[in-house]
Homo-oligomer: A and B are copies of this chain.
Amino acid sequence: MDGRDAPAPAGVTIYEVAQRAGVSIATVSRALRGTGPVADATREKVMRAVEELRFTPSRAGVSLAEGRHAANGIVFPNLSGPYFAEVLIGYEEVASELGRSVVILSTKGRGAVRDLVRELAGRVDGLAVFGSTVPGDVVDELVASGLPLVLISHAGRPGAMTLRSENAAPARALAAHLLGHGHRAFAFLGAPYATGDDVDERWQGVRGVLGGAVEPVATAEYTVEAGYEAALRLLGGRRRPEAVICSDDEVALGAILAAEHLGLPVPHEVALTGWDDIMAARHARPALTTVRQPMRELGAQAARALDRLIAGGRAEPGHRTLDTELIIRGSCGPHPPGRSLS
């Protein structure tokens, strides 16, 4: 026994493998990647040397030679709620299938976003960016740089591909459904921060149907906590709305808690709706009427689109919208038994 199978010195190079196998580095490379012909016997020797030396090609070396990183980046604001986490799951899964690693960047509470994004852009072959996570001029810079880019839930930017779920149409359907329940005074809890983002589109859709009967109410952010705080004030004040349409499920969950705290039965005293259909929406009491958005699919499609863009697919559609589904549960008002409910 010798010490050759001891812990690899972390820096085994292709040269050492070549030497040990008694061949050239070109042959080692060919044997390993299956490019070009290699005699069976030779491949055997190479493989053995690779095993013994625990050789793994240096990623930096490969990247430099190949001219690619085999990695995708993704920029999101935070991972506190289920939404971004779910999209990330779909993104990572597909990217992984396509042989690409995923480098993440969270911008929430970050100062030097521009530099961080540049740094990230430099180590990936393509980037997925959520709307409102990066300043507009930084996005423009990315577009101009030619880096394959997919904007998720973004208002859209000339030259960049955009991917999002539909908002306006289901928002209108949701509003119409609430009208069907007989509600007449509405609030939209979680008023949009930026024009053109997902929440803004939902708000526009809702207002298109309800007109002056709906009032926008801001929340500090789109979280359960913030929804709870804002709903406490909204529902506790005079002129309480009959129905509260929330920007998303988390805000709605907070609103349910606020209603309970105030002793207001949902949906009898106040109706509520969310958006996204996160796991907890089904488990809330009452179960949350919401709009299901294919979160994982959003991430998955982003990864796939990026792969195509990287491969050189110029003909990529500039804009893609995923379907959503109105999910009627108990929080929006009483329904005849036996209907819907999932």
* A61, B58: Cα distance in complex, Å: 12
Q: Does A154 contact B (CB under 8 A)?
A: no
Whether the pair B56, A123 counts as a contact (CB closer than 8 A) is: no
- Per assembly, the copies of the chain total 2
Interface size on A, residues (CB 8 A): 55
With A144-B8, A145-B10 known as contacts, the answer to whether A122 contacts B56 (CB < 8 A) is yes
Whether the pair A7, B146 counts as a contact (CB closer than 8 A) is: yes
Within A123-146, which residues are at the interface with B (CB < 8 Å)?
Answer: 123, 141, 143-146
Whether the pair A104, B102 counts as a contact (CB closer than 8 A) is: yes
* A184, B89: Cα distance in complex, Å: 42
Whether the pair A146, B93 counts as a contact (CB closer than 8 A) is: no
| Nearest CB of chain B from residue A51's CB, rounded to whole Å | 12
Residues of B within 8 A of A257 (CB): 283
Q: Does A31 contact B (CB under 8 A)?
A: no
Q: Does A78 contact B (CB under 8 A)?
A: yes
> Could you pull out 27 A-B pairs where Cβ atoms are within 8 angstroms?
A7-B143, A7-B144, A8-B145, A8-B146, A10-B145, A56-B118, A56-B122, A58-B122, A59-B69, A59-B122, A60-B60, A60-B63, A60-B69, A79-B79, A79-B85, A79-B88, A80-B86, A85-B85, A92-B104, A93-B106, A96-B106, A101-B105, A101-B123, A102-B103, A102-B105, A103-B103, A224-B279
